[in-house]
Amino acid sequence: MPFDRLLTLLPCQNLEDLDLQRREQDAEPLLAAWSALWHPTLLADAQKVPSWQSAESPPSDPEKSLIVVPNCCEELLPSGWLAQAEASGGCILRNLQRRDDIVAAALQHVDGNPPAVDANLAADFLALGFCRFQVELLTRKLRYTSNFDAAALETSAVAAAVAAVAGDADAAKQHLQAAFDRLHEAREYFYSNETRLLDLTLVASTTLGEPLRRELAAGRPCNLLISGAVLEEMARREPARLDALAAAVAAGTTAVIGGEYDEFPLPLLGPEAVATQLSRGVAAYEKHLHARPVVFGRRRFGLTPTLPQILHRLGFTAAFHCTLDDGRFPTGEQSRSQWEGIDGTSLESLAAVPIDAARSAPFLAMPEKSGNMNLDYTPTLVFAHWPARSSDWYDDLRRIAAYSTVLGKFSTVTNYFSDTNSIGQSGRFSPDQYHSPYL
């Protein structure tokens, strides 16, 4: 018996009221519950796209409905509704946290043993569902009324699903492209700025193996944060990996961020020692990659107001004015600005604090974060992760970017600084604004 309705229950009466600042254990089930129902087999079976309803007002006639109930919604349900819904013939999926588990459970209830859909193509459909969620929430957070053509989106999504189930991947992708285009048109109506997305892959001596190879082989724009010391260890232990990295850098698909030989506590070093450390690092990059980083960055805290003049003299053109571990540093209102040192030397800088791509909560909060950037001259989101260690939602974001720039465009950091412009705003910060964790 085909499903008449694909439904997700949410803990809100309106999307404007949905709390996006949720704990990790609530964020993943909510994102999973919404996007899992966009699997092509389910769309082709129901001949419609999923919808949502408040957990406080669930459907009174759940017969022939496939309904996903996230754990955070169960306490909001009317007393006795779950038992009544199951007794009436509704298919209720609960106590499931991960999207893969929800998809597997849902497919067990589809009649007729439908043919399996290529997993990579099916993942594109799930990414479409995630994209719809992001655009819908961004619309509401900016206080606009959703204006996308829902009928056209449903027609394209269902046609893509039917083609995918029939094994026609080319037709499925063409219809998927049309669906993403509808979402892009809707987003441009109320949010015309194109968000820049930067992948920041962290590399350490313990992550030089197969996961890093897969990251480099994907051919997507990425940025490796790697020190000269780790690069030398890669040359000793993983020469094939080093060759792949050098080829990716030469092809322009990968940019290297760093500069130092090793991440010493820079705030404790004098200017001469800092310059020596950077010079040694640059020599290591040039030796092994035949190229040097022009954007300075590091994982551990190490920002000081003396850095702009030292970096400028050593040939760096820009810097990440943020770090990932400990310490505190000043931030401005713009993602891209001029970082002015104590001697007046200015250096282009990126001050967008990276998002942990391995967690779910930041992706639930992403519409709110994007909405708060509507006054940013160069809206930028940076996603940090270790090689091949990221969440399903980050994989969705990458898949979406292959179809459309509706949620942003990925680029290397070198292209980022060459293709965008800063507002001309300079940030000059005093030493007291940098709180070092050392000593």
Angle between helices 24-36 and 99-107 (to 10 degrees): 40
Nearest to 33 by CA among 64, 58, 8, 4: 8
Set out the domains of the chain in order of their start, with CATH numbers.
5-190 (no CATH), 196-433 (3.20.110.10)
For tokens 């010079």, what's the residue?
279
Judge contact between 169 and 121, C-beta under 8 A.
yes
What residues does 337 pair with on adjacent strands? 349
Judge contact between 37 and 6, C-beta under 8 A.
yes
pLDDT for residue 423: 74
pLDDT for residue 153: 94
Edge-first strand order for the sheet with 51-54 is 51-54, 5-10, 65-69, 91-94
- Provide the residue type at 391 as one letter: S
What residues does 224 pair with on adjacent strands? 201, 256
Residue 78 has φ and ψ, to the nearest 5°, of -60, 150
Alpha helices in 290-378 (DSSP H): 307-313, 361-364, 366-371
Residues ≥6 apart with Cβ < 8 Å to 67: 7, 8, 9, 58, 59, 85, 90, 91, 92, 93
Nearest to 186 by CA among 146, 156, 133, 155: 146
Judge contact between 173 and 118, C-beta under 8 A.
no
Helix (H, G, I), strand (E, B), or coil: what is residue 212? helix
pLDDT for residue 377: 85
Q: Are strands 91-94 and 196-202 parallel, antiparallel or unpaired?
A: unpaired
Helix (H, G, I), strand (E, B), or coil: what is residue 41? helix
pLDDT for residue 424: 66
pLDDT for residue 306: 92
Which tens digits make up the pLDDT trace of 9-52? 999 998 888 888 888 999 999 999 999 999 999 999 999 999 99
Residues ≥6 apart with Cβ < 8 Å to 68: 7, 8, 9, 33, 36, 37, 93, 94, 96, 102, 106
Angle between helices 228-237 and 271-289 (to 10 degrees): 30
Which segments of 21-88 are extended strands (E)? 51-54, 65-69
pLDDT for residue 263: 92
pLDDT for residue 311: 96
Low-confidence ranges of the chain (pLDDT < 50): none
